[in-house]
A and B are shown apart, each in its own frame.
Chain A
């Protein structure tokens, strides 16, 4: 029987033979995904992917970019204590599987200390966005003279940790802004533990090592540009960590499978960093969420715990529930009649996951691709932000063909493996979780109530007025940076320039006296939406430059995006600025914003730079666009520091400022009116510049 995987391998080999891999690069993501699917038990898991990685690692990235200039590029540097070059090929394949093109740099043999410490090293000359510092299983042990005691291991491990902390600081200083250093924990080998013959000392060594592991994991800090991949879940899944022969003869201790597993996790990290995290999990019902067929067995029977398998489905539902608690939107797409589905999903104390947990349920007999499009439209997200899990090959293939970009999770007849399959690709991984994430499902439900209200209101303007929207834009507080970074990452449709920032970059901008980061908040009578948008600006002698403007798709269409821009222009005029400069830069999803700036009185200006088809615009502040009258906007860009006087240091409204939360909305409005009446004329930017 020819499988999807065999077909993909044959196709990929044909492309390779024809020298057409670069020309067909966009097709490779799908082929690699198929190659990556669980192979027949007889075949070693990573063979086809390993081959693909080696072939792709030899492609000239320039050739790929010449054929497909829009391919997202990741500049990666690889270094390590021992030979680390082995991770280049699997990482190339894993990044290609997620549609990215790796531009690699592989350092000299084992020179990670020099490469990371020296600002003039080849590693930094590569300007990496991602630096993989591979810590192999001989890390620490290579520096221990025999005989050793657990205490000696603890000392050497601590030295290693301090060294890594220094190197991480150096990386932060010398790598491009926003770059991430990826470390990994070090698997503890039995041939070390069992060199201690007394059981109590052996246990102590185990404890010492776990402390080292814990210390390494605590170095993970997205804001500081450090990520740590935990190797233990990988080795626990059955991946052998080292080959002693290659370790001693070639100084390449890691097995190919460990390198492949680390590469997989690193690619997920790269994807999360690019803001490509998926937003919604669309689940099938029969054979996915429960045992049996609803249309045949009826709601009571599919819900009854009548077999061993019921426990496996319950465990899978709990995983979905766990994801939902962290902001993953859950939806159902099932070929069934709606009424029995509603009965089967009705709340029940013993049943994890019920109707309340799903933000959308599509139960009909149409194609599932249509169902997914409908769910995405309802939620205001792109269909490519969807992960679809189904146990039917037919449904999966149909969705793959009709919903490009959506992730499709292959479940099968074994429900006990559903969970692993769903989590295999870390589709929902994100650098940090914010308050907004946890409340996301509630906010979508508010949105649904709003939509219902809208369809009842005959007149859209009357509906908007009835919402009693209150919005504010104010300098971002410390607690907002993670959320704002996330907005720049996750927001695709209303993202004016596609400039994406890490939390560290947002914090740096907030600290920069010539720059300003405004957090946009919104609330209406259905609920508080929290931070829904961000405005990034900087000032110079020409006036104000709008670097990016993002707004969550959750609130689009309510006029908040218009109100905030109008507020910004008004404030710029009141501060006596000569003009506001902005640009729209096309991305895969922001075509609808092409006319946004000109629609608000900006005029396009000729542009010599070829910036990917960007349109540069200027607003002379003579005629300001009207502000939507159904929104009460508190616009404030002067931080409290302007009022209190000490030199601007640290971020704007650290505490008690109008940006701190809903409770101070009123203060924000007053702040705004005071500003607008001319009480404070200088922004942080101008004062620092003056």
Chain B
């Protein structure tokens, strides 16, 4: 995964959402096809896709897809994170 566009594609493919690149900056609460339940699932999907754990608290606190991507991509070098919980 290289960018928030990949993250959007992942969500569309695995969560059945219809997000577009324009939704990246929108507040998730205002995105019609988004549901808070999706966010919980997205954590597991991201970890499976990236093959490493993501900072869950930051992802859950993110208000936009961009912020999720920042939280996730910023964690690449963070070796302090322990192993992911198998989905």
Contact = CB atoms under 8 A, between A and B. Distances in A.
Contact of A245 (B14, B57, B86): B57
Contact of A244 (B33, B38, B85): B85
B16 A240 contact: no
B80 interface: no
A246 B40 contact: yes
Interface residues of B, number: 19
Contact of B40 (A44, A55, A86, A257): A86
Interface string B1-24: 000000000000111100000000
Contacts, number: 54
Interface string A70-93: 000000000000010110110000
Contacts of B14: 47, 50-51
Interface string A112-129: 000000000000000000
Contacts of A55: 16
Contact of A16 (B16, B33, B40, B48): B16
A44 B16 contact: no
A255 interface: yes
Given A51-B16, A89-B37, A249 B56 contact: yes
Contacts of B86: 240
Given A16-B16, A51-B15, A51-B16, A250 B85 contact: no
A243 interface: yes
Interface of A is mostly: helix
A249 B16 contact: no
Contacts of A257: 87
Contacts of A243: 43-44, 85
A555 B16 CA distance: 50
A58 B34 CA distance: 11
Given A51-B16, A89-B37, A250-B40, A245 B56 contact: yes
A309 B60 CA distance: 50
Interface residues of A, number: 24
A252 interface: yes
Contacts of A85: 37
A92 B63 CA distance: 28
A16 B17 CA distance: 11
A110 to B, nearest CB: 14
B26 interface: no
A489 B60 CA distance: 46
A83 B40 CA distance: 11
Contact of A250 (B16, B60, B87): B60
Contacts of A44: 48, 87
B41 A249 contact: no
B87 A256 contact: yes
Contact of B16 (A54, A83, A86, A244): A54
A265 to B, nearest CB: 19
Nearest to B45: A47
A256 B85 contact: no
A256 B15 CA distance: 13
Interface in B59-79: 60
B57 A249 contact: yes
Nearest to B43: A246
A54 B44 contact: no
A246 B41 CA distance: 10
Interface in A39-76: 44, 47, 50-51, 54-55, 58
A249 B85 CA distance: 14
Report, nearest first, the 9 A-B pairs whose CB atoms are least far apart. A55-B16, A245-B56, A54-B16, A243-B85, A249-B60, A249-B57, A252-B40, A85-B37, A51-B14
Given A240-B85, A245-B57, A246-B56, 9 more contacts: A44-B48, A50-B14, A83-B40, A86-B41, A89-B37, A240-B87, A249-B57, A250-B40, A256-B44
25 contacts: A44-B48, A47-B14, A50-B14, A50-B41, A51-B14, A51-B15, A54-B16, A54-B38, A58-B16, A58-B33, A83-B37, A86-B37, A88-B37, A240-B85, A240-B86, A240-B87, A243-B43, A245-B57, A245-B85, A246-B43, A246-B56, A249-B56, A250-B40, A250-B60, A255-B44
